[in-house]
Amino acid sequence: MQPAHPSLLPASLARFLALWEARRGARRMPARRDFGHEDLWPWMGLLNLVRVEDDDGRFLVFSETSARVYGREMTGRTMRQFEPASMAAAAVDAHRALMTGGGVPMFMRVAGPFENRELEWTRLATPLSEDGRRIDRYFVALHFDEIRLAAPTGIYALKGAAIR
């Protein structure tokens, strides 16, 4: 993960970052209560909400899109409960990067297969704080950058072959 800047983000995530900045005001980070449902509406279905639990995160909201892409519903579960273990490790690594970032929004690009397509998407993590100092929750907003057919299987029809 790396620090987010509007020029590095897709337009939808740059708008989410601008909303985060507006809600933050002069504080280091906004609180969850600073965002109403009407604020978040454009990202519904593409927005996760994570509660910080020591060196792990628990999904308070696991978006519909995330559930479809990852093939599992994780609302109420921790990142360490992801399967396979490699996904859990990647989620915890991203969580740690945000936690050590000092309250700075972070983003990363991700790629993987989904329903016979290869997807590339961007994740924007925006920290939240009730006391203005310690990250206690964060949003993860998603933007899908590209969808293309997955790599061929290597199984091809025999061209011009006659069945006898």
> Is-contact 137 51, C-beta < 8 A?
yes
State residue 146's pLDDT score.
54
**Domain assignments of the chain as residue spans, ordered by start:** 2-149
Give the per-residue pLDDT at 151: 52
Helix (H) or strand (E) holding 27: none
Mention every residue, 6+ apart, whose C-beta is less than 8 A from residue 49.
32, 59, 60, 61, 137, 138, 139, 140
Contact 118, 150 (CB under 8 A): yes
| Percent over 90 (pLDDT), the chain | 51
Class of the CATH domain delimited by 2-149:
alpha beta
How far apart CA 49 and CA 132 sit, in angstroms, is: 18
Q: What is the pLDDT of residues 106-144, one digit of tens each?
A: 998 887 766 666 778 899 999 999 998 899 999 999 998
| Vertex 96 angle, CA 34 and 11, to 5° | 50
Identify the three-state secondary structure at position 61.
Answer: strand
